[in-house]
Structure 1
Amino acid sequence: MAMRLNKYIAHYSTYSRREADRAIQDGYVRINGEIEMNPATQVEEGRDIVYVSGKQVSPKNKYTVIVYNKPKGELVTKSDPKGRRTIYDSLSKEFKHFIPVGRLDFASEGLLLLTDASHVATALMESDLERIYKIKIKGEVTPEMEDAMMNGLYLEDASAGAHSHSKIKEMEFKPFLGYKIQKNQPNYSILKVAIAEGKNRELRRFFAHFGADVVDLKRLSFAEIELNNLPTGKTRYLTRSEYSALYKFLKEESKKQKERA
């Protein structure tokens, strides 16, 4: 399979596409021993040998995935112009180059996956694997909310519950994979919900449409990977069975991509 050089490096290393472009243009990349400065050059997997700064980049590279129990009050970003705390202020030095799989916003907490392989991060981020959240909302769960959770919802204006600087206005909310009401009271309610995405503050926007602010949001699991008893602010490596499930998922995704090509 052939792919662009910059994509190949980003796919099989910890470099982002932008970092790969820079390394290529600065003369740090060799293909089969020759310096290559064109990011669009085609690389043939399994035939061409690619080195970046003297280190070989290949599909055989092993990857590591960790679970982080993100506390409230941390941003999922490398640095913040306002000087607010980020996850990398808490993570140990060995994980400083790890890529987060999606985001949990500043006020949200719970399971966040991070990996040293961008192709793993991308595959998980773009997947429709089940994510389970525990949420607390102001007010009670109404029949209208339940109907929308079961059947989906399209909003021309989904800006309630969004970040003030978000450019995304209209949104389609797919039917939830499942939900369980644990407490339903006029002042506040608690639910467990299962959805297949969770981008762009999806849950906060969904409930804000019904006039119910989400006051607590905690991700409990991502596919087979669960938070379990991991303390807040701590990390753990995936277990053998979790790696096995991830390997199977990535193999299936790779097969699908080859069929589409």
Structure 2
Amino acid sequence: MRLNQYLAHNSQYSRREADRLINEGCVKINHRIAKLGDSVYKNDKIFVNGQFIKEKDKNQYSVIIYHKPKGEIVSKKDDRGRRIIYDSLPSGFSHFIPVGRLDFASNGLLMLTDSPMVAQKLMHSSLERIYYLKIKGYVNEQIKRSMLEGLKLEDARAGGHRLNNIQSMEFAPFTGFEIIQESGGYTRLKVGIVEGQNRELRRFFAAFDTHVMDIKRVRFGFASLGKLALQKWRFLEKSEYTKLHHFLKKESE
């Protein structure tokens, strides 16, 4: 395992922070000052500023749910000085990894974990994600058919961020949808999807010249937002941890 990956897995440091510490000569492998690109092997002892970094038990991890508001970036830092999720979370969660993203203008359920393995398994899973949407326009038969059957776009730039270089995108069929209200040129609906692609819902509806005004995620697989207040967080409940353990066991089979 690469040294920066080892540190990211077993300490509060991100890979970028680990690279900086290695570059500054703050990391030792056994009694040797480490270099960028070094690997960690069995029985190696790793120290950061003289502190021994013990390898974590892979079966020990924590997961929290955070109610992300609009106007926060899901990132460690923002070069434009915008507020990030870690500004709202206690400092003890600064090393937690977000499970996927919610864009700047979206809100709702965001899971974070101190286990890169858990984060990767959840991010790339087909667990259902439930969202409430407000769109400008109405859901016509073409949109309904595409939600039920899936959609492939050769040009999926509409609805994406201007700096993102994604060109084409394929959307799996939605797990379901419910039109809640149609009035005044707007539609409110509830949808379920099984992917977490970049700005997936915004790109999907933009393909039909329909602008997504509001997105709120209320469920991710076994975890629900419930009545958790905006900018508040909680650990998974016992029943949610049980479902997570079953999910991870199934994924490893």
Structure 2 residue corresponding to 1:179, chosen from 152, 177, 180 = 177
TM-score under structure 2 length normalisation: 0.88
* Aligned-pair CA distance for 1:201: 0.3
Identical-pair percentage = 51
SS at match of 2:213: strand
1: distance between equivalents of 2:80 and 2:189? 33
* Per-residue deviation, residues 96-147 of structure 1 (Å, max 9, x unmatched): 2222111111110000111122222222112221111110111111100011
Alignment of 1:150 onto 2:176? no
> Is the CA contact 1:137–1:215 (under 8 Å) kept in the aligned structure 2?
yes
* Aligned-pair CA distance for 1:185: 3.9
Structure 1 residue corresponding to 2:220, chosen from 219, 222, 236 = 222
1: distance between equivalents of 2:163 and 2:215? 21
> Is the CA contact 1:5–1:43 (under 8 Å) kept in the aligned structure 2?
no
* Aligned-pair CA distance for 1:41: 3.4
TM-score under structure 1 length normalisation: 0.85
SS at match of 1:57: coil
1:79-228 equivalences in 2 (<5 Å): 79-185=77-183, 187-228=185-226
* Per-residue deviation, residues 14-55 of structure 1 (Å, max 9, x unmatched): 44344444555636243xx454736453635xxx35434312
Count of aligned residue pairs for this structure pair: 248
* Aligned-pair CA distance for 1:60: 4.4
Q: Which residue of 2 aligns with 1:235?
A: 233
Alignment of 1:37 onto 2:34? yes
**Structure 2 counterpart of 1:125, one-letter code:** M
Is there any run of 5+ residues in structure 1 with no aligned partner, and where? 257-261
Is there any run of 5+ residues in structure 2 with no aligned partner, and where? none
RMSD: 2.2
> Is the CA contact 2:99–2:112 (under 8 Å) kept in the aligned structure 1?
yes
Residues 91 and 27 of structure 1, relative CA distance in 2, 3 Å threshold: closer
Residues 6 and 127 of structure 1, relative CA distance in 2, 3 Å threshold: same
> Is the CA contact 1:115–1:121 (under 8 Å) kept in the aligned structure 2?
yes
2: distance between equivalents of 1:4 and 1:78? 21
